[in-house]
Amino acid sequence: MIKGFFSFHTKRLLSTNKAFHDGLRKITGLFPGNEELYKLAFIHKSASLRLPDGLVINNERLEFLGDAILDAVVAEYLYLKFPDQKEGFLTQTRSKIVNGQSLGELAMILGLDKFIVSHAHNFSKNKHILGDAFEALIGAIYLDHGYKAVKKFVFKQLMSKHIDINMVLKTETNYKSRLIEWAQKYKKDITFKTNQESSEGLNPEFISLVILNDKVIAKGKGLSKKEAEQNAAQASLKVLI
């Protein structure tokens, strides 16, 4: 891991390593090994640091990794908790838990906003930045302690204490309606182009493209036309909002 990059002057950094270390331990229930790895998880791209060799660093790579690991862990949790439910239910429920809005709210509950280094305006209320930092934290935990530690954190700290699964099941996440409302509000021309992909399998996928003013801005896949369009709409909202 990168050594000493936090010697750069950044106003938002915690004044002592002990405060940062203790805060992370309280939130995750784990002892941070590579502390700089966790600090990197909270550097938003707007506050990217440039190393002497020209390398620019921020939390985007950790966010990418954490997103994939979190999907896997939450999928395992739901698979075990709902042994009689089908794939569609599990996919929809996971989406409700790991979508950007939910992760942003969870980041606020955990107090991750205190650690984030960002030059973005009013970032502490930006659910996207908060959610990205949460995913980056997952990536840091994975690299520092491994999959089992992430699983322990998600199962025992998050799902048991902070996520009401019954409330999640009742929550509606109609991204397509939200996208259409956004388009109407700002007088934008939004259309969906959805086709079934050719496949020899029993469950061929649909792929949906979201077109804004004759330009494709996002796409989504699903086992039904509705699922594909919802996923495409969700991806679009991440780009637009």
pLDDT at 69: 97
Looking at the predicted structure, is the pLDDT value of residue 49 above 60? yes
Of 16-20, 138-142, 147-151, 207-211, the one with minimum mean pLDDT is 16-20
| Percent of the chain's residues with pLDDT above 90 | 46
Given the residues 63, 113, 135, 144, select the one marked as catalytic: 135
- What lies within 8 Å, CB to CB, of 124 at 6+ separation is 113, 116, 130
pTM: 0.67
Looking at the predicted structure, is the pLDDT value of residue 12 above 50? no
Both tokens of 67, joined, read 């997103």
**All CATH 3.30.160.20 domain ranges in the chain, comma separated:** 175-240
Longest dimension (CA), the chain: 59
Annotation says 67 is catalytic: yes
Highest mean pLDDT among 7-21, 38-52, 101-115, 142-156: 142-156
pLDDT at 200: 52
CA 199 to chain centroid, in Å, comes to: 30
pLDDT at 174: 74
pLDDT at 3: 42
Given the residues 63, 67, 132, 144, select the one marked as catalytic: 67
Cα(94)–Cα(70) distance, integer angstroms: 10
**All CATH 1.10.1520.10 domain ranges in the chain, comma separated:** 5-170
Annotation says 76 is catalytic: no
Fold category of 5-170 in CATH: Ribonuclease iii, N-terminal Endonuclease Domain; Chain A (1.10.1520)
Q: Label residue 13 by pLDDT band (50, 70, 90).
A: very low
Of 3-12, 69-78, 170-179, 204-213, the one with minimum mean pLDDT is 3-12
Fold category of 175-240 in CATH: Double Stranded RNA Binding Domain (3.30.160)
Query: Between helices 87-98 and 100-110, what is the axis angle to 10°?
Result: 50
